[in-house]
Amino acid sequence: MRHGNYEASDKSTAGTAITFLFIGLGAGALIALLFAPKAGEQLRRDLRRGYEDARDAVETFAEEARDRVEEVIEKGADWVESAREKAEPLRSAMRRK
């Protein structure tokens, strides 16, 4: 599907999601600093907590993505093995001719 000069894609990538996550976190942190000024020590503590929360979120996302990729690879290998077993009689019949 085309929209103007751009072609629409039905696929969403993990890289895009992570990029927007970091953009949102940065924008949120900047807005928080501008509208809620705090003492230096308290600000550093809040920033540290925000950083740790973001790091935990990225680690969780990476672990989930890794688990899904491993699951897909395992299912793909099972499917290939099943297809190979089903195709073996046909292959044997083709060799005899």
Q: 80: domain range?
A: 2-96
Give the mean pLDDT of 8-16: 64
Number of domains forming the structure of the chain:
1
Cα–Cα distance, 57 to 82 (Å, whole number): 37
Predicted confidence (pLDDT) per residue in 39-83, tens digit: 778 878 888 898 899 889 889 988 998 999 999 999 999 999 998
Determine the Cα–Cα distance for residues 53 and 51; give it in Å rounded to an integer.
Answer: 5
The pLDDT confidence band at residue 13, using thresholds 50, 70 and 90, is confident
Task: Find the largest Cα–Cα distance for the chain.
Answer: 85
Residue 77: half-sphere exposure toward Cβ, Cα within 13 Å = 6
Does the reported pTM lie above 0.85?
no
d(CA 51, CA 45): 10
